[in-house]
Amino acid sequence: MNFVTTTALFAATAVAEIVGCYLPWLWMKDRAPAWVLLPAAASLVAFVWLLSLHPTAAGRVYAAYGGVYVGVAVLWLWLVDGERPHLWDIVGVSVALAGMAIILFAPRG
């Protein structure tokens, strides 16, 4: 899998996980009706399925996914929560994505 495909798949995975957790959060905060739990469950099923599409070892996928999740979560902070990321949010995302790239794309012997 190439870099662009892998990154897009990780981003879709992160969105599925965040939506799957965000909808129940809205319900628990009395901001959404109980029916949002159904798309939340479907989103979490999609999250698991998307993780399974990666061709490398599961542990490496999970470790690398964490970096992408951090980046997508900060985008969510900005686009959905309406809070503009601070400089240190961006620095943290950069470090997490650098770690993801090292884990996933480093040459293997």
Q: What is this structure's pTM?
A: 0.86
pLDDT of residue 54: 85
Tell me the C-alpha distance between 56 and 82, whole Å: 35
Give domain limits for the chain.
3-105
- The pLDDT profile of the chain, 109 residues, written as one tens digit per residue, is 787 898 899 999 999 999 999 999 999 999 999 999 999 999 999 999 999 998 888 888 888 889 989 999 999 999 999 999 999 999 999 999 999 889 888 888 7
Give me the helices (H) in 1-109, please.
3-28, 37-52, 58-79, 87-105
Length of the chain, in residues: 109
